[in-house]
Structure 1
């Protein structure tokens, strides 16, 4: 294996190990937090949708994710799946 391939593999392993989508960060979420506070904790969401002052944002993928629902940019509901 070339040095370049080894470095790329190491980077991918580190990136996966440093995911912000985990049980520790999920436990820091609470109702009333602002959208900015959640994005500081989890980073930019993978997907967001909303209308009329309500929004729903998701971080992660279909197997491992955190989903947060906002009203007026404040957390009202949140859920997670597959978190470690």
Structure 2
């Protein structure tokens, strides 16, 4: 019985963590042109991936189905896009 209660508690915590995604329309709207990289990290957390080309760093939060992508030049936002966020 105790094992079942523990399992239910663990599954409940996992459901809460999964449901607490930072990939929301509200958070996307907080990302403004000119914002610092650290400000975006405070809003969205650490990016899942980043790449650099021609002095622009592009960072992605999320995956191919659901994501926010932000382009930075000199650690300042120059463009932000989203895909399938709610």
TM-score normalised according to structure 1 size? 0.91
Distance 1:9 1:24 in 2: 27
TM-score normalised according to structure 2 size? 0.89
1:9 aligns with 2:15: no
Greater helix percent: which structure? 2
Give unpaired runs (5+ residues) of structure 2: none
Cα-to-partner distance string for 1:42-84 (whole Å, 9 max, x where unaligned): 0000001114531000001111110000111110111011111
Moved over 4 A (4+): none
Alignment length, in residue pairs?
84
Find the counterpart in structure 2 of residue 72 from structure 1.
74
CA RMSD, 1 decimal? 1.4
Find the counterpart in structure 2 of residue 47 from structure 1.
49
Superposition map of 1:11-30 within 5 A: 11-30=13-32
Question: If you compute each CA radius of gyration, which structure gives the higher value, 1 or 2?
Answer: 2
